Amino acid sequence: MVSNLENNTTSPHASNDSSGAVLSVKDLSIALPKNADREFAVKNVSFDVAPGEVLCLVGESGSGKSVISYSIMGLLANALKVQEGSSIKLQGEELVGATEDHMRDIRCTRIGMIFQEPMTALNPVMTCGEQIDEVLVEHTKLSASERKEKVLAMIEQVHLPDAARMYDSYPHQISGGQRQRIMIAMALILEPVLLVADEPTTALDVTTQAQILHLIKELQGDRKTGVLFITHDFGVVAELGDRVAVLKQGELLEIGLSSQVLMQPQHAYTKMLISSVPNHTPPERPAIASDAPIVLQTINLVKKYVNSNFLFGKKAVIAASDVTLEIRKGETLGIVGESGSGKSTVARCVTRLIDISDGRVLLSGDDIARVPQRNLRDLRRKVQLVFQDPYRSLNPRRSVGQSIVEGPMNYGKSKAEAWQKARELMELVRLDPDGLDRYPHQFSGGQRQRICIARALAMEPELLVADEAVSALDVSVQKQVLELLEEIKDRMQLAMLFITHDLRVAAQICDTVAVMSEGKVVEYASAEELFSNPQHSYTKSLFEAAPGRGFKFAREV
């Protein structure tokens, strides 16, 4: 089903002769273990990567994109088997069937790899320098002083400040972006001909992401490194990819120049995916009636964390300062910010999961900030949460139904009533009510998030707090869940507090947006105003960093 676009739209970097390719994958099939949901993780996938070219491999979770990258590195789990007839050639040399010793010689010398989570991908008990140095110890015969010199030079090339200090730092002492730079230094120090990047910017803040993408582009351009870049984000593709290959359920649907695929996708699935990418321009939204009652109001909310130390006395960290916000019935307020901006702190304060240090939090006019713990029962019902990770926010040992009815029954609903309500809610979130007897692991991520929403709604809350509720979902699923949230909010006239780091998502669902940075609200305006005419420099820098901004994605008509 590979689109015939491939033949007439080769990348500017690619030579016409495929033997010039750095990487040439042909008819790659990888079988899944017997009891899996499908037979093949990857089926008959073919593509080339030319020197100096960036090929993006795009797909949703389960598309097999990571499996492909691991098979190139020879790092597949034992349960996954590359099938007969598959071929992976590195500069013409066949890697399928190569011995483990030979693959070890190739790793990091000819193929470098970087991973998604810079937090966990580095060894926490070794200094960054030692970890880069190890590559040289393993693969070169350089002396200790030559190695040190080379490592320091590489640390400088990835634009880290104070190379000597970085060398001696442990991973937990530096930021996520810096860690990813260390990973890149490690992967590229021996100048491999191919870099495999498995979602390297997904876990990073948007401004950091922009910097890392820029760095990858710079380094691979200088060295003519071929890059296989795995991502689920079309913004990143628009930013970085020379060509793009679209995968679905292990099959390659479409491959071609990025600009062409993004603007004129051929395959229906690609069209659907690209049109699901949320737009930066907010849609027209009905105005919230100015006489709608205010559900939640925070007045000069402050949250301080005090660290007391035996020797150094007290040190205060201000997580949120002077936050003044309000949400009316039927309104969605978005809080947008990068990690550490204080957006989750505010969410935790208004739900009284943590106590505030100063200021007031009014829920329907009642100050809830200082209500003693034992009187919080009523608040708990009125405010409900939906969390980021639907895989971990449902108890795996309880059926979905048990999870949903637990809250209402706790608040005095009869068993029959609660179960009846649960069935209605399942229909509301468009799931089969018969699924109530099943367990969370039997549902997909998007379905689980729907269950989480149903669970929250079962309490008939006045305020729904969604903390990064769609961030862990694939774009197509994300779109559906966003639509569902919007519909439910309208129908039940809820007030919604929507916490997100993703500007595009905020643009789609929020009536009003507060941008937070370093604990402060730096800009607070209607979504329409904010996105068309950002005032604060921080908001502007966020917009500029968003990948693929200004790119005209194909829209479904």
Q: Which residues bind other proteins (CB under 8 A)?
A: 73, 75, 103-109, 112-113, 115, 117, 120-126, 134-135, 138-139, 170, 172, 183, 186-187, 310-311
Query: Rounded distance, CA 535 to CA 538, Å?
Result: 9
User: Is the CB of 172 or the CB of 552 nearer to other proteins?
Assistant: 172
- What is the three-class DSSP state of 398? coil
Output the smallest distance, CB 190 to other proteins, in A. Answer: 9
Written as one string, the DSSP assignment of 121-175 is HS-TTS-HHHHHHHHHHHH----HHHHHHHHHHHHHHTT-S-HHHHHH--GGGS-
Written as one string, the DSSP assignment of 243-297 is EEEEEETTEEEEEEEHHHHHHS--SHHHHHHHHHSPPSSPPP-PPPPTTSPEEEE
Output the smallest distance, CB 114 to other proteins, in A. Answer: 9
Cβ atoms < 10 Å from Cβ of 349: 25
Output the smallest distance, CB 388 to other proteins, in A. Answer: 19
Query: Rounded distance, CA 280 to CA 264, Å?
Result: 20
Query: Rounded distance, CA 153 to CA 438, Å?
Result: 56
Q: Among candidates 503, 502, 466, 478, which has minimal Cα distance to 383?
A: 466
User: Is the CB of 43 or the CB of 179 nearer to other proteins?
Assistant: 179
Query: Rounded distance, CA 136 to CA 454, Å?
Result: 53
DSSP-derived letter for residue 107 is B
Q: Among candidates 471, 65, 465, which has minimal Cα distance to 278?
A: 471
Exposure string (b/e) for 64-89, b if CB count within 10 Å is 16 or more? bbbbbbbbbbbebeeebbbeeebebb
User: Is the CB of 139 or the CB of 423 nearer to other proteins?
Assistant: 139
User: Is the CB of 6 or the CB of 198 nearer to other proteins?
Assistant: 198
User: Is the CB of 18 or the CB of 61 nearer to other proteins?
Assistant: 61
Strands (DSSP E) found in 387-502: 463-467, 495-500
Instruction: List residues bridging with 82 in a β-sheet.
Output: 30
Output the smallest distance, CB 293 to other proteins, in A. Answer: 48
> What are the tokens at 47?
């593509």
User: Is the CB of 74 or the CB of 408 nearer to other proteins?
Assistant: 74
User: Is the CB of 127 or the CB of 207 nearer to other proteins?
Assistant: 127
Output the smallest distance, CB 86 to other proteins, in A. Answer: 21
| 241: alpha, beta or left? (left if phi > 0; alpha if psi -120 to 50) | beta
Backbone angles phi, psi at 32, to 5 degrees: -90, 160
Output the smallest distance, CB 202 to other proteins, in A. Answer: 13
Output the smallest distance, CB 172 to other proteins, in A. Answer: 5
Backbone angles phi, psi at 131, to 5 degrees: -70, -35
Tell me the torsion sign for CA atoms 468, 470, 474, 475: negative
Compute the chain's Rg from CA coordinates: 25
User: Is the CB of 107 or the CB of 303 nearer to other proteins?
Assistant: 107
Q: Are 246 and 267 in contact (CB under 8 A)?
A: yes
Output the smallest distance, CB 142 to other proteins, in A. Answer: 15
Output the smallest distance, CB 187 to other proteins, in A. Answer: 8
User: Is the CB of 2 or the CB of 73 nearer to other proteins?
Assistant: 73
Output the smallest distance, CB 266 to other proteins, in A. Answer: 34
User: Is the CB of 171 or the CB of 334 nearer to other proteins?
Assistant: 171
DSSP-derived letter for residue 108 is T
Output the smallest distance, CB 308 to other proteins, in A. Answer: 13
Output the smallest distance, CB 78 to other proteins, in A. Answer: 10
Q: Among candidates 246, 184, 250, which has minimal Cα distance to 211?
A: 184
User: Is the CB of 226 or the CB of 265 nearer to other proteins?
Assistant: 226
User: Is the CB of 124 or the CB of 286 nearer to other proteins?
Assistant: 124
Output the smallest distance, CB 249 to other proteins, in A. Answer: 24
User: Is the CB of 125 or the CB of 287 nearer to other proteins?
Assistant: 125
Exposure string (b/e) for 457-484, b if CB count within 10 Å is 16 or more? bbbbbbbbbbbbbbebbbbebbbbbbeb
